[in-house]
Structure 1
């Protein structure tokens, strides 16, 4: 169940000439709503602004966007004590063709969705993942931003139906780990934590950023670097991050097994202290 709003009004349709519909010409943010408030709002706005700048789309005014989101939360029939908000920003509608209208204006939609907390057992024992055959294409112009173009993730998610598999891990054409279909990935070797560099492809998640900032503030160094697949398999611990579930340890990928080790548990505690309620064991 979801409700959608545009310019403060409830909507159930979009224009047929929408550039978001025809070309995926835009960006989106998926925001955790906890206690009727947008979690990590400043980080979401920062990424949205950066993405708009890189795509040449006019970024919504932060105050206007915040007020529109507050109105949507207040007006929605969804229980906003624990919910999800999706903000879609796209170039304004116009004539057919790849060239945008000259005015450079942006259009934005806000959707409010029901959400369910992750099973506490996944936090304690870790999730099962699998490796994906679908690769992430290298495109530095789009690297890091959350564009409306998600076909790679759609194809990767189509690879399995097993409900026991929580997530699929994706590499680029060179066999370097990039991300999950809906998450960022961190690997641990001994006391060393690393996460893939996302300067060529992939989405730089807001929770990934929050984890990096929180760990740095607590004296835990994270290397942002290329990670070959064999380094993933040789890891002592692996965990995923996502704006909705926060942090989840990984206990398996294909035939590889991992323990939810002491460093993963320390990171969960730090993230719980940093306001991510899903990380409370």
Structure 2
């Protein structure tokens, strides 16, 4: 699959790039379906916001759009993945960055993970992870390049008889799945964990928080603990590639799929 760096077709990155050396950057993963990028305005908003929080310069958005158009031409138009990575480039020595300079923008294309389609139909099981997420409010909710916790979680997943892991922070608050946001359904209320201390705020999570109330749902963004799992009518996970996937079991305890879950899936297709 082809790659682009700052709008040019290439597969090389400077060895001094701060994204490679320090994880100094962030990214977003886009779903291509029916020949178009889904939810691009939300992805762009997230990338803009992360650049602001990290005091990185904004990319040339017109140039990035042209690169995305080229990437689309090389993708399977039915289903594919495009990843946009923004780094601070080679600016600054050691830990001391140069602020608000033009960043380096990397665009890559990938095949779509077909198992997500099966997950949408059949649902997934979750086991509680042993590894706990560290808390750092200054980086919370952003999709930064430092994903070693997620690498360790995927290694741990191989030791479980489950599809994914339910991930807690160091104070035993429930945060997310290994690569997806978590929602609980309780009657007509959607509950999702606060990401003020850690975790990643996905674009599907943002879309639900922005639009669910207009479709009759009450929303709660708050700390979630184990007792909330006992009270919920159902649960689901979301990310930009999988959409909404029902959770059919947690730690061996079956969970029903509420009839209202189909409304959620339709809502994310709007």
TM-score when scaled to structure 1?
Answer: 0.90
1:204 and 2:201 are equivalent in the alignment: yes
**Aligned residue number for residue 169 of structure 2:** 172
SS at match of 2:260: helix
Pick closer, same or farther for the CA change 1:221–1:61 going to 2, 3 Å.
farther
Aligned twin of 2:212: 215
Residue number in structure 2 paired with 1:278: none
More deviation, 256-265/97-106: 97-106
The correspondence of residues 134-213 of structure 1 with structure 2, limited to 5 A, is 134-161=131-158, 165-213=162-210
Residues 194-231 of structure 1, C-alpha deviations (whole Å, 9 max, x = no match): 00111111111001111222312212111111111221
- Would you say the 8 A contact 1:92–1:104 is kept in 2? no
Partners of 2:234 and 2:163 lie apart in 1 by 17
Check 1:144–1:4 CA distance in 2 against 1; reply closer, same or farther (3 A cut): same
CA distances 1:87-116 after superposition (whole Å, capped 9, x unpaired): 010102146411124672310100011114
**Candidates 237, 242, 245, aligned match of 1:245:** 242
Distance 1:162 1:97 in 2: 38
CA distance in 1, matches of 2:115, 2:207: 19
Choose from 259, 263, 266 the match for 1:266: 263
Q: 1:19 to 1:120 in 2, by over 3 A?
A: closer
Cα distance, 1:121 vs structure 2: 4.8
**How many residues matched?**
270
**TM superposition shift of 1:130:** 1.1
* 1:82 and 2:111 aligned: no
Paired position in structure 2 for 1:109: 106
Q: State the alpha-carbon separation in 2 of the partners of residues 146 and 246 from structure 1.
A: 17
Question: Does the 8 A contact of 2:202 with 2:239 survive in 1?
Answer: yes
Aligned alpha-carbon RMSD (Å): 1.9
Distance 1:42 1:147 in 2: 19
| Cα distance in 1 for residues equivalent to 2:250 and 2:3 | 37
Q: Is the Cα–Cα contact under 8 Å of residues 29 and 86 in structure 1 kept in the other structure?
A: yes
Q: Give the 3 Å change call, closer, same or farther, for CA 103–141 of structure 1 in structure 2.
A: closer
**How far apart are residue 81 of structure 1 and its match?**
2.9
Q: Which runs of 5+ in 2 are unaligned?
A: none
User: In 2, are the aligned partners of 1:8 and 1:71 still within 8 Å (CA)?
Assistant: no
Distance 1:128 1:209 in 2: 23
Q: Is the 8 A contact 1:84 1:113 kept in 2?
A: yes
- Cα distance in 2, alignment partners of residues 102 and 29 from structure 1: 21
- Give the unaligned 5+ runs of structure 1: 275-281
Tell me the equivalent position of 1:277.
Answer: none
Tell me how far apart the structure 2 counterparts of residues 271 and 8 of structure 1 sit (CA, whole Å). Answer: 31
